[in-house]
Amino acid sequence: MDLEIFTRKMDSVIRRYRTIYDLLEFLAIALIILLIAVYFNLDEVFKLIPWTEPYVGLSPDIPLFTINYETIFLFFIVCLFSLLILEVIDRSRGRIYKLLKRTPPKRQKSQDLVEETYPELKDRLKTAYDNRDSDNFIAAELRTSVAQDIEGVASTDLIDKKRVAYSLGAIIVAGLFLTAIFFTGYTSSFSPGDVWDRFPNGSITQPPVDENTSSNNSSSIPTEAPPISSSPGVDIDVTLPPGAGMGPGDMLEGSESNFTPSQPYAPESLSSQHFYDTLPAGYEDVIKEYFKKLAENS
């Protein structure tokens, strides 16, 4: 096999494997965050947000599938946090290894991984690749022997089995706990509303009443009935007039009333006599003709 073709092939395989590693780690982190969110009922936080509260309990019209809006919001936030955590871990990988007092792994090239996996190719593969255009007899012999050895290289042997095992283990454990919560409904008694109640609810508090303000407004807005003053030797009538205490509610409850509905009358009988007394002679027909044409035009 040609060394240059083999190297390009291994580079493509390594890039594909690294993408799989990132996807597995993203899924593992997302399931762990989702497990925490479901166990502590964090989806109830959307009831406290004004622009998401109207959608709580509703679901979009999706054929053969039902999912609540709060679940969609929760998945979106979980994915966002998972991406952020994955990016922070990738940037801080060296610091994490230093805290654990371990040497961080280097980002190896495909040739380094092949030589590490197959000790018989140690230092021979890179040397042969670097001298692939050389006409030297020794370099030609090296290229020939290396080309025969790389025929037995399997791309599956280059997989980082520990990294895949850790990610799959986290995915399986988180998935099992989520399945148990789904079927049993067992969650924590904690609710985001418990924390929200400890903060001010935003209600408007009344300002303290100033003595001068209250005295100035007391004349315009009475707050209690005025007292009844009396003089010695003077009798005051405090009896209620007839019909007091009778309101519209008493009439609606079926109490009797002397009310007599009005009867229809001809419009001429209801006209004001003052209208005819002040109107000059001959203007009555003119006004009637005016309103008649006005009604026809409308």
Residues of the chain with pLDDT under 70: 1, 196-283, 298
Residue with tokens 């395989």: 13
Give domain status of residue 12, yes or no.
yes
Is 121 within the bounds of a domain? Answer: yes
Residue 201 in any domain: the answer is no
Distance CA(40)–CA(188), nearest Å, equals 5
Q: Is 163 exposed, middle or buried (0-12, 13-18, 19+ CB in 10 A)?
A: middle
Residue 135 domain-assigned (yes or no) = yes
**Residue 169 forms part of a structural domain:** yes
Range of the domain at 107: 3-196
Report pLDDT digits (tens) over 103-161.
777 778 889 999 999 999 998 999 998 988 888 888 889 989 999 999 889 999 999 99
Residue 291 is assigned to a structural domain of this protein:
no
> Is 212 within the bounds of a domain?
no
How many structural domains is the chain composed of? 1
Please report the pLDDT score of residue 218 as a whole number.
45
DSSP 136-152: -HHHHHHHHHHHHHGGG
CA 48 from centre of chain: 10
CA distance 10 to 158: 9
Residue 81 lies in a domain: yes
pLDDT at 44: 87
Q: List the beta bridge partners of residue 62.
A: 65
pTM over 0.85: no
